């Protein structure tokens, strides 16, 4: 497994489209910024066949201090982003299971 960075995506898209890396970077960064802005407003972002980003509330709870387990630490409620993959993405990712099993042996 390899980690793909935003720069890797920009280079790949630049090579595929013939656009400069600066142009592709501006589009990619603009897309990510727009998604972030909408999520920060509490809106969901849905991209068909890719997936949906949704803001969810995680309820507050009482945690434990690992250095002093006898002390309770209140953890306040917070908003988190959840991603639900679309049908096409789920199907494509499901196909890599045999490959992952071979790598772990």
Per-block mean pLDDT, blocks of 10 residues, the chain (105 long):
94 97 98 97 95 96 88 93 95 81 58
Find the distance separating the first CA and the last CA of the chain, reported in whole Å: 14
Structural domain span for residue 81: 44-105
Q: What is the dihedral of CA 69, 72, 73, 78, to 10 degrees?
A: 120
In the block, tokens 């407003």 appear at 41
| Structure letter (DSSP) for residue 3 | P
Question: Is residue 102 domain-shared with residue 61, that is, in the same domain?
Answer: yes
pLDDT confidence of residue 102: 62
Give the predicted TM-score (pTM) of the model. Answer: 0.76
Q: State how many domains the chain has.
A: 2
Question: Is residue 21 domain-shared with residue 66, that is, in the same domain?
Answer: no
Tell me, what CATH number does 48's domain have?
4.10.520.10
Question: Is residue 28 domain-shared with residue 51, that is, in the same domain?
Answer: no
pLDDT confidence of residue 99: 63
Question: Is residue 29 domain-shared with residue 77, that is, in the same domain?
Answer: no
SS3 72: strand
């Amino acid at each position: 497994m390899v980690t793909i960075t935003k720069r890797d995506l920009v280079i790949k898209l630049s090579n595929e489209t013939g656009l400069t890396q600066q142009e592709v970077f501006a589009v990619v960064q603009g897309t990510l910024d727009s998604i972030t802005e909408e999520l920060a407003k509490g809106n969901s972002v849905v991209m068909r066949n890719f997936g949906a980003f949704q803001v969810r509330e995680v309820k507050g709870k009482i945690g434990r201090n690992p250095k002093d387990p006898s002390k309770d630490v209140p953890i306040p409620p917070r908003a988190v982003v959840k991603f639900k993959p679309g049908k096409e993405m789920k199907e494509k990712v499901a196909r890599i299971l045999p490959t992952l099993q071979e790598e772990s042996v």
